[in-house]
Amino acid sequence: MTFTIQQALIPVDDGYANVDVQIQDNAIAAIDANLEVVGTAVDGKNKLLLPGFVNAHTHSSEMWQRGLIPPVPLELWIAELYDFTPLEPDQVYLSALGTAVETLLSGGTSVVDHLVLIPGKEIETIAAAVRAYKEIGICAFIGPLIQDETLTRGIPTGGKETEHEAYIRSTEATLALMQEAVDKFHNPAEGVYVLVAPTGIQLCSDALFQGCIELSDHYNLCRHAHLLETKAQQFLAQEKYGCSAVEHLKRIGYLSPRTSLAHCVHLSDADIEILAETQSTVVHNPLSNLRLGSGIAPILKYLQAGVNVSFGCDGAASNDSQDLLEAIKIGSILHNITDLDYHHWITPRQSVEIAAFGGAKGLNLADEMGSLAVDKKADLVLYDLTSLSLLPRTDPIGLLILGRPAQAVDSVWVNGKRIVADGKVTTINVEDLRKELFERSEWATNRQSKTLGEIEAHYRSVMGLPEGVKKGYS
């Protein structure tokens, strides 16, 4: 694709500048004032041009349950989620499309989908998500969510003897599934990357982690996982390993510059040093951490220690949205209450860098995307500065990050292809998607989860919570 964005506003060291940006062969060829127009001319006047953000952790199929799961902690929330997981690949296809649309219209050009797999239809599940992401044109990093231990193993025993059923798939079968996924779907040239993505220490054996490390090293794949999202997982790590989960993952070799770790709420200072040393990335998911009562991740400590940080929406049943700008805003200002020294607080410009460059670095692609620079991929977002939600005119990035931008995205390019124009997705029919999501769903309240009921008493006991009357679902 060849085009020139004219008179766009971009951030520079001493404020902002109006520039032209030439795109040739899907990459930025030049950035300067009054450049010659190459290809198609795009009007950038009164518009802010930024690199595309990365939605660095989500679970697309959770869209079918957003707004529905009651306020409970992760270990109980996930039991309900799994009891009602979509069972058809066409549902996965639709929710991946929905996730991509919301990400694009809130400034994202890439999405990391920690994809929940339908039992018995695992490859079909991945294929459905891949089809959706390729159709819409967003850059997709798909990490099939794998485990080899049952949900009950994710809760500390509290010293009690506990029996667990075997998981539905063996470790060997799960690794074979990942090999097949890599063979069939990993295709960076078409904007689809496969990640190795064990769910986390709470539901995965060391053998599964080791197998993922081998696949990652052999194919140069990025690694992803949840890490210490809840207090219960912190207790569980001590039970399983006799040390912190971070120390254990370092010991087995999972941490690396290609590793991104979602949540990282309950880490010690020593854990933070390990993440910095191994150059691992923390994906900050502030809304789900609040929604599930998991806690506030010590993001300011990570940044001060030199740990790379990115932002994620998390799944649409624990957020319950895929509005990346909302996640960035909350993920930035939330930490003003965690450190009295306001010199440590995250500025709007730092938020943009975390969302774009931090996301790219966490995917081992900082040399290819994440900033406005010559030779970087043309993953770009143009924001309309005449939008009512970005007025009156003050600081454009301050308005974007600290405000509540509504319908502010004018255009989005992914790898040089324009897939949003005049605020509308051009590659799929969003109205058809809206109708499908409406017709394939129904208003639902007061449903009951069998698994949640089975484990709640044990969870409350282990976590030192009193017996009490259930709140119900309404």
| pLDDT (tens digit per residue) in 5-32 | 999 999 999 899 999 999 999 999 999 9
The superfamily (CATH) of domain 51-362 is: Metal-dependent hydrolases (3.20.20.140)
The whole-number pLDDT of residue 448 equals 76
Identity of the amino acid at 371: S
Nearest CA-CA partner of 205 in 248, 247, 176: 248
Burial class (CB in 10 A: 0-12, 13-18, 19+), 9: buried
Taking 80 as the threshold, does the pLDDT of residue 81 lie above it? yes
**Torsion angle, alpha carbons of 394, 398, 400, 404, to 10:** -90
Taking residues 207-227, report their average pLDDT: 98
Q: What is the pLDDT of residue 151?
A: 80
C-alpha 332/C-alpha 106 separation (Å) is 16
- pLDDT of 468: 64
**Is the pLDDT assigned to residue 469 strictly greater than 60?**
no
% of the chain beyond a pLDDT of 70:
98
Of 152, 158, 147, which is closest to residue 235 (Cα–Cα)? 158
Tens digit of each residue's pLDDT (9 = 90 or more) over 41-53: 999 999 999 999 9
Q: Are 316 and 68 in contact (CB under 8 A)?
A: no
Question: What would the pLDDT profile of 426-466 be if each residue is shown by its tens digit?
Answer: 999 999 999 999 999 988 767 778 787 778 888 888 888 99
SS3 call for 192: strand
CATH topology of domain 3-50+374-435: Urease, subunit C; domain 1 (2.30.40)
Instruction: Give the pLDDT score at 472.
Output: 45
pLDDT at 56 over 90: yes
* pLDDT for the residue 371: 98
Q: Which two tokens stand for residue 55?
A: 């939605």
Of 45-49, 163-167, 284-288, give the lowest mean pLDDT range: 163-167
Give CATH 3.20.20.140 domain extents, the chain: 51-362
- pLDDT confidence of 126, banded at 50, 70, 90? very high
Taking residues 78-89, report their average pLDDT.
Answer: 82
Predicted TM-score of the model (pTM): 0.94
Give the alpha-carbon dihedral of 159, 163, 167, 171, to 10 degrees: 60
Cβ atoms of 16 and 57 closer than 8 Å: no
Neighbours of 427 (CB within 10 A): 18
* Residue-level length of the chain: 474
Q: Does residue 470 register a pLDDT over 70?
A: no
Average pLDDT, the chain: 94
CA distances from 394 to 381, 412, 416 (A): 20, 23, 30
* pLDDT score of 473: 40
Task: Count, in order, helices (H) and strands (E) of the chain.
Answer: 16, 17
d(CA 382, CA 392): 18
Question: Is 471's pLDDT higher than 70?
Answer: no
The full DSSP string for 42-82 is EE-TTEEEEEPEEEEEE-GGGGGGTTTS-S--HHHHHHHHH
- Single out the residue of 370, 285, 364, 330 nearest to residue 53, CA to CA: 370
> Cα separation of 405 and 421, whole Å?
17
Where do you find CATH 2.30.40.10 in the chain? 3-50+374-435
Q: Does the pLDDT at position 107 exceed 70?
A: yes
Residue 95: which of 123, 139, 136, 52 has the closest Cα? Answer: 136
Give residue 125's Cα distance to chain centre.
18
Cβ count near 368 (within 10 Å): 15
Per mean pLDDT, which range of 156-160, 170-174, 306-310, 363-367 is the poorest?
156-160
Question: Tokens for 367?
Answer: 């040399």
Among the residues of 222-268, which ranges form H helices? 231-241, 245-252
The count of other CB atoms within 10 Å of the CB of residue 110 is: 25
Paired strand residues for 20: 32
pLDDT value for 451:
81
Q: Tokens 């006799």, residue? A: 242
